[in-house]
Amino acid sequence: MSEPATGISRADVVHLAGLARIDLSDAELDHLAAELPAILEHVASVQEAAGDDVPAMSHPVPVDNVFREDVVTPSLAPEDALAAAPASDQQRFLVPKILGES
Amino acid sequence: MTVETLVPFEEALTRYDPVMGLEIHIELNTATKMFCGCPTEFGAEPNTQVCPVCLALPGALPVVNAKAVESAIRMGLALNCEIAEWCRFARKNYFYPDMPKNFQTSQYDEPIAFDGWVDVEVDGETFRIEIERAHMEEDTGKALHVGGSTGRIHGADFSLVDYNRAGIPLIEIVTRTIEVPPEKAPAVARAYVSYVRDLIGGLGVSDVRMDQGSLRADVNLSLKPKGSTTLGTRSETKNVNSFRSVERAVRYEISRHAGILDAGGKVVQETRHFQEDTGTTLSGREKSDADDYRYFPEPDLAPVSPSREWVKELRATLPEPPAVRRARLQSDWGFSDLDMRDTIGAGALDLIVETVEAGTTPQAAKKWWLGEMARRSNESGQDIHALGITPQQVAEIQALIDAGRINDKLARSVFDGVIAGEGTAEEVVVARKLEVVSDDGALGAAVDRAIEGDPDAAAKIRAGNLGVAGALIGAVMKEMRGQADAGRVRELILEKLS
């Protein structure tokens, strides 16, 4: 993709929607193709505020090493685990066929 | 499905050089999952070890298992890796029903361990395998494919998913590209996986059972024309469930790639599935846009920054390095270099260690594991660890031999019985009536008949040529279906013919 860093084409939006399995109408694609670059530009202006010497954060709070001990806690009963599944069989989640849809 | 044209392995190597990369996934044996307190028992009833976190129910918050991080660091150190001072988890986004979250929590550009190496030995030659990284992630659920003809994902109508395994801590070990003398490639791949199994098994952080999936190997392979430096397109073969399969998968993919390239075709970058029964690989999934995983740092988990003191403490817990341990065992056992090489090659080092610990001499342990068990393993294609016989059982059977109750030949029948689940060695001996006969009455009669049947041999023994006694002993053993006490038979023959 040879677009500038903040640029995003309509084709990019189609690609992203495909990856995210979101079915978008033509009107929605047009709308997002215009809106996403604006969002990215906004984010870019935030990036300018921080110099190269400021490391990127993935967390609002600088905290490391939040661990739990390796101790078993109760699991759900299988009927509860499966209660919200659209379909189940043999105490398993039933899902549509995996291959052959592309 | 297109018919593949295969080029015989040796011929393929006259025109191409293989380039390999190996990925090994190791399930840790922690009591609980990577990010929640669900238990990790193998073989539990479906969906009995799941909770809101590993089912990705809304609002659930993962927390890292400290023991899993400790195990990951120890593995990294054992693989001679650097341990990251600071690293994060990342979301690997993809849609596949084995991951309820629609992403796998993994690590991306900040693995916990990186830049390591191991030395593996093939035919007495050492090859250094460089480790690019070892990172922490979580295992996926298990899907049962229903419909179609084979129970495979191809042609299935729908799938049934069990999430017990989803979220179990996994460490993925990735090598750098491996280029070794082409003809050695399959054996080096096998030796590497076998070495890692022993190394990690020695740390006690995983069961490392290929047959149960706690150690899984993926073989990435491409070919480049001789003299070229341009890498070819690679295939990724999954479902490789034994050391032998690792070797076979490499050989098969070399033959298959060469067939495609010879015909002027292009190798497709895809996932392939190894077929244990035929030794071939089948096309799984083509790499496509869907492999754009859009990794990003996991916002629900805090970064991991192991202190250097902790890393130092963990380094001190590592067992002696495999090379040192092997040298010590070889010297303790009095094995020759060749014995040792065969032991390593058969993947039987720990089996012999445990058999010796159970009271058998090293020589006897070697005899059974490298002879009888290696043969059974080769014939059945099963891993030598998965034959259904334990070192303790081998030691029990050898003890019966040492007590003179059975002999080596009868022991084979005892192995059959123990493997078939007929009970302990003792019970099998009784039920199958395998005890050797050392009662002089029965033996004497058989010896008389053997002497009568072979007057020539009898005459030679009378004349002092004791070497001929073997023929008569053989005749007695044959008559008594191998159940005679050979030592006593010999004594009786010599007594009668003196």
Instruction: Please tell me the distance from the alpha carbon of residue B358 to that of residue B369, in angstroms, as a whole number.
Output: 14
How far does the CA of residue B211 sit from the closest CA of chain A (Å)? 23
**B 411-450 → A contacts, CB under 8 A:** none
pLDDT band for B404, please (50, 70, 90 cuts): confident
pLDDT at A42: 87
* HSE (side-chain half, CA atoms, 13 Å) at B492: 23
pLDDT tens-place values along chain A, 102 residues long: 334 445 788 998 998 888 888 999 999 999 999 999 888 888 888 878 877 788 777 777 888 999 999 999 999 999 999 998 999 999 999 998 876 543
pLDDT tens figures, B155-196: 778 899 999 999 999 999 999 999 999 999 999 999 999 999
Instruction: Please tell me the distance from the alpha carbon of residue B393 to that of residue B223, in angstroms, as a whole number.
Output: 45
Residue B454 has pLDDT above 70, yes or no: yes
Cβ neighbours around A7 below 10 Å, total? 13
Under DSSP, the state recorded for B318 is P
Q: Which residue has the tokens 């395994």?
A: B165
pLDDT band for B344, please (50, 70, 90 cuts): confident
Task: Indicate yes or no: pTM above 0.90.
Answer: no
How far does the CA of residue B4 sit from the closest CA of chain A (Å)? 22
User: Any idea where the domains of chain B sit in the sequence?
Assistant: 9-289+305-312, 320-431, 440-496
pLDDT tens figures, B247-304: 999 999 999 999 999 999 999 999 999 998 899 999 887 666 556 888 999 999 999 9
Nearest CA in chain A to B28: A70
Instruction: Please tell me the distance from the alpha carbon of residue A44 to that of residue A49, in angstroms, as a whole number.
Output: 9
Of the candidates B4, B150, B13, B172, the residue with the CA atom closest to the CA atom of residue B90: B172
How far does the CA of residue A98 sit from the closest CA of chain B (Å)? 7
pLDDT at B153: 67
Q: Do A99 and B156 touch (CB under 8 A)?
A: yes
Chain B residue numbers with beta carbons less than 8 Å from the beta carbon of A73 are 32, 36-38, 51
Contact at 8 Å (CB) between B391 and B355?
Answer: yes
Q: Do A75 and B145 touch (CB under 8 A)?
A: no
Instruction: Please tell me the distance from the alpha carbon of residue B32 to that of residue B36, in angstroms, as a whole number.
Output: 7
Is domain A1-53 given the CATH code 1.10.20.60 in the classification?
A: yes
φ, ψ dihedrals at B461, nearest 5°: -65, -40
The alpha carbon torsion through B327, B331, B335, B341 (nearest 10 deg) reads: 0
* HSE (side-chain half, CA atoms, 13 Å) at B432: 25
What is the ipTM for the molecules in this complex? 0.84
Q: Do B65 and A68 touch (CB under 8 A)?
A: yes
φ, ψ dihedrals at B118, nearest 5°: -140, 150
